[in-house]
Amino acid sequence: MRLLTFWNEILWQWLLPVLLTLTALVCCIRQRGYPVRGIGGVLKRTYGSLLRRGCGREQHRIFASALAATMGTGNLVGTALAIITGGAGALFWMWISALLGMILVYAENMLCSRFRQTHPDGTVTGGPAAVLRRGLHSRFAAGCFSACCIAAALGMGNLAQSSTIAQTAQEFGIPLPCTALLTALLLAVILHGGRNRIGTVTAYLMPLLCGGYLLGCTVIIVRQIYAVPDVLRQILREAFGFRAAGAGFCACMLLRTVRTGFCRGIFSNEAGLGSSPLLHLNASADDAPHQGEWAAAEVFADTLVSCTATALVILTAPADAHSCKDAAALLLQAFASGLGGTARGFLAACMILLAFATMIGWFSCGAAACRDLLGKRAAACFPFAYLLAAFAGALWNPAWIWTLCDCANGMMALPNLYALLRLSGTNAPVQKKFLRRRQFDKF
- Please state whether the peptide bond connecting residue 17 to the residue before it is cis, i.e. omega within 30 degrees of 0: no
Q: Which of 131-135, 226-230, 341-345 has the lowest mean pLDDT?
A: 341-345
Average pLDDT on 169-191 reads: 86
Looking at residue 243, its pLDDT comes to 56
- Nearest CA among 107, 30, 70, 86 for reference residue 305: 70
Looking at residue 246, its pLDDT comes to 45
Residue 238 to residues 83, 188, 225, 233, 317, Cα–Cα distance (Å): 11, 46, 20, 9, 18
Looking at residue 145, its pLDDT comes to 92
Cα distance between residue 233 and residue 62, in whole Å: 38
pLDDT in tens, 111-165: 888 888 777 766 777 788 888 988 888 889 999 999 999 998 888 888 888 888 8
Judged against a pLDDT cut of 80, whether residue 346 lies above it is answered with yes
Cα distance between residue 184 and residue 231, in whole Å: 42
Cα distance between residue 114 and residue 407, in whole Å: 29
Burial class of residue 437 (count of CB atoms within 10 Å of its CB; 0-12, 13-18, 19+): exposed
Judged against a pLDDT cut of 60, whether residue 214 lies above it is answered with yes
Cβ(89)–Cβ(261) below 8 Å: yes
Q: What residue ranges do the domains of the chain occupy?
A: 2-115+143-420
Cβ(314)–Cβ(80) below 8 Å: yes
Judged against a pLDDT cut of 80, whether residue 219 lies above it is answered with yes
Handedness of CA 385, 388, 393, 396 (dihedral sign): negative
Most confident option among 8-12, 244-248, 270-274, 419-423: 419-423
pLDDT averaged over the chain?
80
Average pLDDT on 5-13 reads: 78
Q: Which of 98-107, 285-294, 370-379, 385-394 has the lowest mean pLDDT?
A: 285-294
- Nearest CA among 260, 394, 400 for reference residue 327: 260
Looking at residue 245, its pLDDT comes to 42
Q: Are strands 117-118 and 124-125 parallel, antiparallel or unpaired?
A: antiparallel
Looking at residue 247, its pLDDT comes to 47
Q: What is the pTM assigned to this prediction?
A: 0.86
Q: What are residue 118's DSSP bridge partners? A: 124
Judged against a pLDDT cut of 60, whether residue 438 lies above it is answered with yes
Cβ(162)–Cβ(394) below 8 Å: yes
**Domain 2-115+143-420, second-level architecture:** Orthogonal Bundle (1.10)
| 26 or 375, higher pLDDT | 26
pLDDT above 90 coverage of the chain, percent: 2
Looking at residue 443, its pLDDT comes to 40
- Nearest CA among 426, 433, 432 for reference residue 134: 426
Cα distance between residue 219 and residue 42, in whole Å: 28
pLDDT in tens, 246-305: 444 555 656 666 667 666 666 677 778 888 888 887 776 556 777 888 888 888 888 888
